[in-house]
């Protein structure tokens, strides 16, 4: 890909999308970002932020005009509406990079089948557990230095959002990724309790893991507004990772030429979230 035409980034204010925007800019690629509220997006200077919503295809033609590639974060738990979006994208773009997950849920499987029928070149990213999930412990850590959650022995090679974005950028502006499915992990498998310990080491304030009942964690997630399907899926996955931990891959290094960042690096990048002052 030439890199001279714009890349459209959906989910541009999210954990991964924001990093995709930043890294595309660093690569000298024009970036257009889709946002429901451009004024509140808080994206870097130089980004062409346009108003749009994937749930309303009528808002998309302007966003897609002149775009060569699309980074697609699909924010719905169903593929309903995606065929219309892909049809519109195919009129302008050549390549779509889709942020899926290692779980490959039903709607993600449907999405991948739709890409094959769309006429677009496509790349699928399947990240494992996000390192950023540890941010959900931040309030507990700041207030008590204790993480009270279930499945402390659940192990996964958690992945830094900057590495997910780095692979996405290579796929968006480089060659050789059409039809590729990239499974993305960090460099080492860590239990949740080990992650908590590393947070304590980086912050300089010890953090202790205290095992909690899954039922209590489920109720807390409901109280935060999480849907039942998502809550139960997370808890089932954590239970599996106690006895069947997910192995790391070297995909990040293969694609980017740089080893995947460690969880300790991720904590260093986000250390202020875990400190009281």
CA distances, 237 to each of 49, 103, 133, 233 (Å)? 36, 9, 14, 6
Residues of the chain with CATH 3.40.50.720: 6-127
pLDDT single digits (tens) 216-269:
888 888 887 877 877 888 888 899 999 998 899 999 999 999 999 999 999 999
Q: Return the SS3 of 148.
A: strand
Q: What's the confidence (pLDDT) of residue 150? A: 95
- Superfamily classification of domain 6-127: NAD(P)-binding Rossmann-like Domain (3.40.50.720)
* Interacting residues of 34 by C-beta distance below 8 A, sequence separation 6+: 8, 9, 10, 12, 50, 52, 53, 54, 60, 63
Helix (H) or strand (E) holding 277: none
Looking at residue 155, what DSSP letter applies?
A: E
The label of the residue with tokens 């700041």 reads 142
Low-confidence residues of the chain, pLDDT below 70? 1-4, 277
CA distances, 72 to each of 9, 96, 102, 148, 154 (Å)? 7, 7, 16, 34, 29
Q: What's the confidence (pLDDT) of residue 276? A: 84
Helix (H) or strand (E) holding 123: strand 121-127
Instruction: Give the right CATH number for 132-157+187-246+261-274 from 3.40.50.300, 3.90.25.10, 3.40.50.920, 3.30.565.10.
Output: 3.90.25.10
Q: What's the confidence (pLDDT) of residue 234? A: 86
Q: What's the confidence (pLDDT) of residue 104? A: 87
Name the pTM for this structure: 0.94
Residues of the chain with CATH 3.90.25.10: 132-157+187-246+261-274
Q: What's the confidence (pLDDT) of residue 35? A: 95
* Interacting residues of 135 by C-beta distance below 8 A, sequence separation 6+: 270, 273
Residues, the chain, total? 277
Q: Return the SS3 of 124.
A: strand
């Amino acid at each position: 890909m030439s890199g001279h035409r714009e890349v459209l980034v959906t989910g541009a204010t999210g954990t991964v999308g924001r990093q995709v925007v930043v890294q595309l800019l660093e690569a000298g690629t024009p970036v257009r970002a889709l946002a429901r509220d451009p004024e509140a997006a808080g994206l870097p200077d130089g980004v062409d932020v346009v108003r749009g919503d994937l749930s309303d295809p009528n808002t998309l033609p302007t966003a897609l005009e002149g775009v060569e590639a699309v980074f697609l974060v699909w924010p719905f738990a169903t593929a309903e509406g995606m065929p219309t979006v892909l049809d519109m994208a195919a009129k302008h773009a050549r390549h779509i990079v889709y942020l899926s997950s290692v779980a490959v849920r039903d709607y993600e499987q449907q999405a991948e089948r739709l890409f094959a029928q769309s006429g677009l070149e496509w790349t699928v990213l399947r990240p494992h557990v996000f390192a950023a999930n540890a941010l959900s412990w931040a309030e507990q850590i700041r207030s008590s230095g204790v993480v009270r959650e279930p499945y402390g022995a659940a192990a996964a090679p958690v992945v830094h959002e900057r590495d997910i974005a780095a692979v996405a950028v290579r796929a968006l502006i480089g060659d050789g990724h059409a039809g590729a499915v990239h499974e993305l992990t960090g460099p080492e498998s860590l239990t949740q309790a080990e992650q908590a310990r590393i947070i304590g080491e980086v912050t300089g304030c010890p953090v202790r893991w205290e095992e909690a009942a899954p039922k209590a964690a489920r109720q807390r997630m409901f109280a935060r507004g999480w849907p039942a399907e998502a809550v139960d899926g997370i808890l089932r996955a954590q239970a599996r990772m106690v006895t069947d931990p997910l192995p790391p891959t070297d995909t990040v290094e293969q694609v980017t030429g740089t080893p995947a960042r460690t969880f300790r690096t991720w904590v260093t990048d986000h250390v202020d979230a875990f400190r009281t002052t």
